[in-house]
Amino acid sequence: MTRDPFVLGVDLDGTCADFYGGLRPIAAEWLGVDEAALPTEVSWDFPEWGVDQAPGGYEDLHRFAVTQRDLFRNLRPLPGAPMALRRLSKAGVRIRVITHRLFIKYFHQTAVRQTVEWLDSHDIPYWDLCFMGDKGAVGADLYVEDAPVHVEKLRRDGLSVIVYTNSTNRHLPGPRADTWGEVHDLVMAELSRWKAR
């Protein structure tokens, strides 16, 4: 009898991809301000950038960024993320990418295409690609996530989560990782415990 593989649920934006750094120049263009005027330390809906005061707010900025500037295709990976995921995959971890990129209507095909192209162009291994807000529904053994709302929901549901540190989530308790090297080590430790069970 074969055992099901250990599944790692991995978020993309702010966890694997530098979403905040990639969105910043686009937000500056969209808002009509100098990029230097937008702080790099942000909280969850970008109030520091004044996005909530602009016509259409974040949804219109997001739509512009994805449909007019190919945001999801052009994001840089966070340092070490692709290699750490390759190493984990080679160690037998099943990578399940879970992203909530389809939360705005009418450009899902564009968002999905850019996501797959980004994953493939950075040689990020994955078996499953899930576009959904209820990340716990995918049944991973461990999650890596940065968004406070998702971390808190996963934990309320009794699921194990590594918080990938950025300015939006420093208030959350650990376990947390500041680098992908740390993610790798935490996942490997959990994999060892899982195998022992």
Catalytic residue positions, numbered: 11, 13
Question: Using an 8 Å Cβ cutoff, are 104 and 63 in contact?
Answer: yes
Count the Cβ atoms, other than its own, within 10 Å of residue 183: 25
Question: Using an 8 Å Cβ cutoff, are 15 and 146 in contact?
Answer: yes
Question: Using an 8 Å Cβ cutoff, are 114 and 131 in contact?
Answer: no
CA-to-CA dists, residue 161 to 7, 9, 143, angstroms = 12, 9, 5
Question: Using an 8 Å Cβ cutoff, are 144 and 161 in contact?
Answer: yes
Strand partners, 177: 164
The three-state DSSP-derived secondary structure of 160-178 is: CEEEECCCCCCCCCCCEEC
Question: Using an 8 Å Cβ cutoff, are 64 and 30 in contact?
Answer: yes
Q: Is the dihedral of CA 121, 178, 184, 2 positive or negative?
A: negative
SS3 assignment, position 34: coil
